[in-house]
Chain A
């Protein structure tokens, strides 16, 4: 078996191990599962032809990586449980603010890394407009509560060990955090402030979501419109944002700098963007993949996109094993990408993209991409909410063509906000026109697009994915789907 395939299958089994642990299978259960799996594969190898035999033997060996996955999960889980906090008691806690505080009309919310006897991270909710920033050293007075049962997995994923509600806060000192993060969070806040200063409220909240994933300002009515029109993904940061960022960096810097310097600048910008936007799973995934793609270009090595995706997943799940099962953003992002990777070429083929070109508003490209991504996430969305927007393909065709311009103008507006009000005003006028267009499209489709309620159980979702995979292999069997290609 070739090295890249060996990597793929061992990583796959590692993820299987993490998955089984996440859903509550004990280590012993996983050992039994692994041994049974390996034995089954070896028996299969015994009956297989010579060509296929080595493939099954390798798979049997790699299946033991599931055990490594389980051990990794257990070790992180032990570490989480080891943090002891005294729940239910009124306490005075000292600690450092380690997140960019989020402020709304109900409270100021931030995460504190507590120092002293009680050590662990706490989500603190204080009065609205509390004057707190990342890196502040604070004293918190309040009662530490256990994370609520229904949000336990979320808290585990975020590595938060307790919650302090109605906390009273006093600041001891400032600037105790990383300078890099401080600068990024200040930039993030300043850009959003510029949006609200220059643009109408609804548009400012939309561009904040599109560019920085900040959804706090979106009104309930508009959120509903986004859901109904199937365009909610616009305000959830996705790989698309990173894609456009990379494209813009390439366009701007190509020819100006040496390739190595360009790669370095790209890495810094992409990492900065990931951290600034709160390191959402979808952005981290896209960021890692973008870096791999750029590095492969730089080192002139052939990139296996399937392995790049697996590499991103492996890195992220190794860092935080909880995200595999408890982070919907992570799952949606990977499934959407798998959809695009495997199904988009089929749709493009079907629409005769190569012979006839992209068409008006690049509709052939957008239909293929949107359909492929939606097929990837559809079973999961049906399992999660049960709502399916029927005309979302059309709303996305009308919107996606304008997105690079909107994001470009959004970045420009964010930057000009640091330079001159007049410059941001000019950019703001242009951006306003494009955002008006997008809002009209969203509201039009929200009004006319019917939504279906098609709820699925967990088993139903698994079956649907199995059917989709089966269909894929059926449609592509005439191509290179041989055991040789898997080896």
Chain B
């Protein structure tokens, strides 16, 4: 049987495409011992993506801490995850404000999600109800975590430092934020949600020694009502990241930025630097990449 050269070229072309796709996929996965934290440029809001691997190829864990306000997070997620990967292990909602969970409505619609963690406080907005409906409809486990709980994966640990039940029921929803200290032999990072000075003071009084971190996600988009000097002293970070976009609240406050710079802390902002990516290399050195 004679096979035309067109068929041969087509088959060879097909093999080439498949080969390219497989190699692209493998290379773009990165080193199996990578730890990547990306503070996404989601406009005014918080959206942080983490990829944690521990020398266990194909078993890395993808976590998102807050999802920004709207659909912009999808574009950012594709940049860090690749469009072909539509599975995220864990979504963490620090508190039920739209600029922290709004984007998760789209994420839950277009991605498969392993579980959702929140602080247990229910929101009142239509968007929150929609989010809860989607979680319920899809049968995704929803877990409420509070002060003293923790999440473990291999050598990586998220210590939940807040909210305390007093703040959970309080008037200011911001103060009910989940505060998490992530630590791992490669990196420590403190996630502060939108807490104000009240929660910072409480954390200083009860868990001052557990606050230290190499990287600080500055609370409440750099608000003047947060980041008191004693709190920054206790965290003593090398880098401070402010997740902020165009807003009418005056975030980030100049006084907050000055405080950080005074302590020789490198300040990075998503509104100026775009997406900020933190990677650890083989020797556990922390490298930071800015989009602009």
B75: chain A residues at CB < 8 Å are 201-202, 219
A 162-204 contacts with B by CB, 8 A: 193, 196-197, 199-202
The reply to whether the CB of A404 lies closer than 8 angstroms to some CB of chain B is no
CB contact list, B89-133 vs A, under 8 A:
98, 102-103, 105-106, 109-110, 125-127, 129-131
CB distance from A416 to the nearest CB of B (A): 17
Task: Fill in one digit per residue for B74-87: 1 if any A CB lies within 8 Å of its CB, else 0.
Answer: 11011000010000
Give every chain B residue within 8 A of A193 (Cβ-Cβ). Answer: 109
Looking at chain B's contact residues, is the secondary structure mostly helix, strand, loop, or mixed? Answer: helix
**Cβ-based interface call for A104 (8 A):** yes
Closest chain A residue to B75, Cβ basis: A201
Residue of A nearest to B45 (CB): A105
Q: Which of B2-10, B65-73, B152-160, B262-270 is the interface stretch? A: B65-73
A127's partner among B105, B106, B126 (CB-CB below 8 A) is B126
Q: Is there contact, CB below 8 Å, between A129 and B127?
A: yes
Residues of B contacting A126 in the complex (Cβ-Cβ under 8 angstroms): 126
Enumerate chain B residues within 8 angstroms of A128, measured Cβ to Cβ.
Answer: 70, 98, 102, 125-127
Residue in A closest to B131 when the chains form the complex, CB atoms:
A129
Closest to B130 in A: A129
Assembly CA distance A348 to B72 (angstroms): 43
Whether A130 sits at the interface, judged by CB under 8 Å, is yes
Q: A105 and B98: CB pair below 8 A?
A: yes
Q: Are B74 and A196 in contact (CB under 8 A)?
A: yes
Give the complex CA separation of A126 and B75 in angstroms.
Answer: 25
Q: Select the residue from A131, A201, A217, A219 with max chain B CB neighbours within 10 A.
A: A201
Q: Which residues of A are found within 8 Å of B131, using beta-carbon distances?
A: 129
Contact flags (1/0) for A4-24 with B, using CB distance below 8 Å? 000000000000000000000
**Chain A residues in 8 Å Cβ range of B72:** 105, 219
Chain A residues with CB under 8 A of B74? 196, 201
Q: A105-B102, A200-B78 are in contact. Are A217 and B127 (CB under 8 A)?
A: no
Nearest CB in chain A to that of B83: its residue: A200
Q: In the docked arrangement, what's the CA distance between A196 and B71, Å?
A: 10
Residues from chain A with a CB closer than 8 A to the CB of B126 are 108, 126-131
| Interface contact B78-A127, CB-CB below 8 Å | no
The answer to whether A131 and B102 have CB atoms under 8 Å apart is no
Does A196 contact B102, Cβ atoms closer than 8 Å? no
Of all chain A residues, the one with the shortest Cβ separation from B133 is: A131
Q: In the bound complex, how far is the Cα of B83 from the Cα of A219, in angstroms?
A: 17
Q: Chain A residues near B106 (CB, 8 Å)?
A: 196
Residues of B contacting A105 with CB < 8 Å? 43, 69-72, 98, 102-103
Q: Which residues of B contact A219 (CB under 8 A)?
A: 72, 75
Could you tell me the distance between the alpha carbons of A220 and B105 in the complex, rounded to whole angstroms?
21
A residues near B70, Cβ cutoff 8 Å: 104-105, 128
**B-chain residues with CB within 8 Å of residue A130 when the two chains form the complex:** 126
Asked if B102 and A127 make an inter-chain contact with CB atoms under 8 angstroms apart, the answer reads no
| A201 touches which of B78, B127, B129 (Cβ 8 Å) | B78
Listed by A's residue number, 7 A-B pairs whose Cβ atoms lie within 8 Å are A104-B70, A127-B125, A128-B102, A130-B126, A131-B129, A131-B130, A201-B75
* A-to-B contact residues, CB < 8 Å: 104-105, 108, 126-131, 193, 196-197, 199-202, 217, 219
The 4 nearest A-B residue pairs measured at CB: A105-B70, A200-B83, A129-B127, A201-B75
Sample of 19 more A-B contacts, CB < 8 Å, known A127-B127, A197-B109: A105-B69, A105-B102, A126-B126, A127-B125, A127-B126, A128-B102, A128-B126, A128-B127, A129-B102, A129-B126, A129-B130, A196-B110, A200-B83, A201-B74, A201-B75, A201-B83, A202-B78, A217-B71, A219-B72
